[in-house]
Structure 1
Amino acid sequence: MSLNATPSSERVHIGIFGKRNAGKSSLINAITGQNLAIVSEAKGTTTDPVYKAMELLPLGPVMIIDTPGIDDEGVLGSLRIQKAYQVLNKTDIALVIIDAAVGPSAEDLRLIKRINAKKIPLLIVINKCETINEDKKTAYQALLPNGKLLFVSAEQKLNIFELKEAITQTVPADENKAQIVADLLSPSDFVVLVVPIDSAAPKGRLILPQQQTIRDILEADAAAIVVKENELTNTLQNLGKRPKLVITDSQV
């Protein structure tokens, strides 16, 4: 299964929040190395949350959510702000982008307070850091103690690698992750997986349940041996010892 086909539910959702013209779209392009988001000097280019499924190394498949500015104006602007806040309900990691030249505003502080109340892992990203001096950076650190602070420049590509590393380190541990067979295994066990090659199956790759089972076995520090149904007997004879499990397709 390709990374582009990874289901949305299995991707880390990274919400990008901030005021209009804080550089959210520019930062998305810098992080991904692609022109995924429209960049414009005009305020309010992003009018609705935009979901972008992609691979972010070294993290893997992610869903990046570009949101409207939290300082939008008027009746429509209020609705857009509401949509931006609703994205928090789907966010695994929140990035609040602040324009270094403007500094944290009441809208930014209100959003950060909401994110902390929801206990969502938070990175506060001061964009356009080339426009401020060290004294200003120290002042911002004092103003924003409730989140990890990073100073970057999307335009000049400053500290983008460090930001990607910080995102990777901020991924919440999934302690309640459902296991397929890992709870039945001990380290150094081995499992034989019988996988018929179905003419209707996608060529060149295994289907998702097969991939997930292999990954689950490996995460249990066990070994997976994958064979076709006509090789099962020979494989069991040649192993020298009994496998902990044999998992077969319903066709076998």
Structure 2
Amino acid sequence: MLTGLAPTGGLALLVVPIDLEAPKGRLILPQVQTIRTILDQDSWCIVVKENALQAALDRLNQPPDLVITDSQAFSEVSVIVPDSVPLTSFSILFSRLKGDLSLLVNGTRQIDQLRPGQQVLMCESCSHHPLEDDIGREKIPRWLQQYIGGELQFSHVRGHDFPEDLSPYQLVVQCGACMWNRREMLTRIERCQQAGVAISNYGLTIAFAKVIFPRALQPFNL
């Protein structure tokens, strides 16, 4: 997950918002797995909410080797973190861990080809109960429509449900797939490739729609 991004003995600063979608009393799986990966490679991490990010940076004697944020906080975090510090998101790390980052990046770039009225398929691996302003059902659709300057048609699937016919869709946006193994995610990517349909994931799509895509990919040299 973090190969080549945070050195052994290095410091990663994790930005973890606590909002309505955050489960009570615990972190979500991508955050937990990231922390465990950092510990396994004998590196350090500091975990803060977005409203404590500036204070955390100010208290460090030297900048962190990497900042990892929840994708939804990309805009505000990118303003605070100096350009010289590598910045990405948990979801983008999972696009590398669970899928093929290069293929998903190429799929994300096809967002520029979207036109009002076209169809986008939103896919969630788990079956959590959608809350108000849900990331997959409300926030990403809203940000995509703001980016292209018009309305899109969105469909939603959960778990292993996936249309046999992908031809109506111009874009598939998959969640981070933290509940899946890599083979399952690669199979979904392959299905989209066979159908000639672009596929992205939540974090990559948010970074693109928020116009900070190049910076979010800078740690990966893509």
| Alignment TM-score > 0.5, same fold | no
Q: Which has the larger radius of gyration?
A: 1
Higher RCO by CA contacts (8 Å cutoff, separation 6 or greater): 2
